[in-house]
Amino acid sequence: MRTGVRLALDVGSVRIGVARSDATGMLAVPLDAIRAGDVAVAAVVGLVREWDALEVYVGLPLHMDGREGAASERARTWARALSTRQSRSLIDSASAVMVLQSVLEAESGTGKVPGDLVLGDDGA
């Protein structure tokens, strides 16, 4: 299993919940939420640098029947913007902890990285 800090985001219209893992990838802990808006991507890029994050996961909200909706599209759009911003510049929080903890547990149990890779509009 790979070691290194991972970040997870729960993208909302007002706030973005943030969580990070420990370096072993076994435990998720909350960080301060970020106010959603124009500077949110820059704030997350700053956290990636601060924690030397290996990966950033963005939670994908689904309806109870598993369908995607407007919130899902907002999360995907936000993930693309983050991916683009990271490549150009070098590469609520309790919900983000749950997202990251489930990712860590799934990876630990299967040995595979869960989720879908989201690329920015520029392919990065």
Please give the pLDDT value at position 85: 55
Over residues 24-33, the mean pLDDT reads 93
| Ranges of each domain in the chain | 6-110
Superfamily of chain region 6-110: YqgF/RNase H-like domain (3.30.420.140)
**Comparison of pLDDT for 3 and 12, the residue scoring more:** 12
What secondary structure does DSSP assign to 65-119, as a single string? TS-B-HHHHHHHHHHHHHHHHHHHT---THHHHHHHHHHHHHHHHHSS--S----
What does the pLDDT read at residue 84? 66
pTM, entire model: 0.71
74-113: per-residue pLDDT in tens? 899 888 888 765 545 433 566 777 788 888 888 888 888 8
User: How confident is the model over 39-81, as pLDDT tens digits?
Assistant: 888 899 889 889 988 889 999 999 999 899 999 998 998 888 8
